[in-house]
Structure 1
Amino acid sequence: MPESPESSARAAQPDWPPALQDAEYREAVVDLLGAIAYGEISAFERLGEDAKLAPDLQDKVAIGAMATAEFGHIGPLLDRLAELGADPYAAMAPFRSAIDLFHEHTAPADWYEGLVKAFVGDNLANDFYREIAAYLDADTRDLVVASLEDSGHSAFVVDRVRAAIAAEPRLGGRLALWGRRLMGEALTQGQRVVAERDALSALLAGGVDRPGLDLAAIGRMFARLTERHAERMAELGLDS
């Protein structure tokens, strides 16, 4: 007996977990992975530019290693997007404007501003994505968290910035102001991305087998982002 079209469609359905079988949720995951992937590409490009500001070859190599680590995160994200039936490059496209605008508004004036941005600015975005990851299915959450892992190079940034402030204390005031500017720009970017993408807004509201965020929870999330920013600034020897 020939198989009905409905049976064929069910047979062709990928073996996704229940959450990913929800079209709206899957659209939100595609958006999120697209945003993170383009963020990684942008960070890779920016760190390459920052290497030109490095005062010596040792620092150039250290920044190059950071850029290489960022690039290494991109492949698994693009592969996952393809597994979800999305065009990885189309998935990244809606986020180019917001992310490029953030980097345009926060172009470092010198080597030390570039280091603070790599440590503070990039981690602010990563913290935001980790917060969203808490509302994802387990497989997607694990991929997101892995793509945002510290590659072990942050100690280099902390060492260089603290040494520079010790040698020139006035530098600390300027870099503290720079860190606060990065905080404001990063939060604005995150809010803009979520507001412009209906699927991401719906993701935060909850869905199939997933809790959502009410206004109080959103307030607590931004409080946590602010606290982590203050901790990183303190690690650099800067006031937040």
Structure 2
Amino acid sequence: MIRTLAIAASLAALPLAALIATPAGAQLSRLAELARQQAGEWQIGPLYKGRSLSPGMPITATRAGDHAFFDFPWPTARAGHVHYVTRQTGPLTGARRIVLRYRIEGERGVRFVPQEVPDREATLSLYFQRRGDNWKARGRYATYRWYAPAALMGPVTPGTHEVSVPLDANWVAVQGANRRSAPEAFEAALDDAVRVGFVLGSSGGRGHGVFATAPARFTILDFRVE
């Protein structure tokens, strides 16, 4: 019943002329493609209670062929900052690693600044999140968000970079637990993962947001779970 309603709602959103001219089987194929595209969209957030916690940013990255990109807010934190960039996923059980290849371009001399602690170096951390997180990070929810180990974070500097983090590394949870100290919680998060991607911030504030001091662009060249 839920699937029927979803298909009906999606069909209703398509232009009438397109529905009349398109056979039913092709309509369903088109809906499947739309669902695939939406599932692959890069969301800029996180979204909490209907609003984005990345001020000054669009809700999603911009598609450009096989890649996606976003522009950093600049020149100060008052213009905004980028926190979480994620996409939908299913269970990560059995996966070996997460890999991100990315390019950062900007005007000469541009700097990338953690908005919470401007005197620190900006960092990128791979990330995944368990389904049902209430964003309070208390009780069982203290192990719903997981970040790459500090030694495996990526740079936020102009150039092309790649980060690859094995899922048997010592990932860190939002409140400081890690894969070794909370192995069951880590495995449960893998089994019930709902979002995966990366966050921008600093070593002392993963995902707490970064802005640029001049125009700059972040392009996702490749992202995969292997």
The two structures share one fold, judged by TM-score above 0.5: no
TM-score of the aligned structures, taking structure 1 as reference length: 0.24
Report the structure, 1 or 2, having the larger helix content: 1
Report the structure, 1 or 2, having the larger strand content: 2
Task: Mark the structure with the bigger radius of gyration.
Answer: 1
TM-score of the aligned structures, taking structure 2 as reference length: 0.25
Could you say which structure has the greater relative contact order, defined with CA pairs below 8 angstroms and 6 or more residues apart? 2
